[in-house]
Amino acid sequence: MKRHWIAGLALAFAAATVAAQSADGEVRRIDKAQGRITLKHGEIKSLDMPPMTMVFRVQDPSMLDRVAVGDRVRFDAAKVDGTYTITAISKVN
């Protein structure tokens, strides 16, 4: 019985999360209080998203300490529980 519960939980998590895909972007705004970042980014094919500027939630708020407005970044984005979420981010030199 326990195995079925664990398998069900794993399946639910997989359904709630669309695979992350890396993309390039530029930081336009950081909202540490809300755990959000605004990025101007290129196409993100796995999310069926054309190039645009949009607000993302960050998976870990400490990620916002590593970037500043105006930074060029490489990031991974996924749809987690229906919300577009940054799962990794780093500055590009």
Q: Where are the domains of the chain?
A: 2-91
The answer to whether the pTM exceeds 0.85 is no
DSSP type of residue 83: E
Chain centroid offset of residue 41 CA = 12
How far is the C-alpha of 50 from the C-alpha of 59, rounded, in Å? 22
Tens-place pLDDT, residues 20-45 = 678 999 999 999 999 999 999 999 98
DSSP per residue, 2-60: HHHHHHHHHHHHHHHBPPPEEEEEEEEEEETTTTEEEEEE--BGGGTB-SEEEEEEESS
How far is the C-alpha of 18 from the C-alpha of 84, rounded, in Å? 10
pLDDT (0 to 100) of residue 46: 85
CATH superfamily of 2-91: Copper binding periplasmic protein CusF (2.40.50.320)
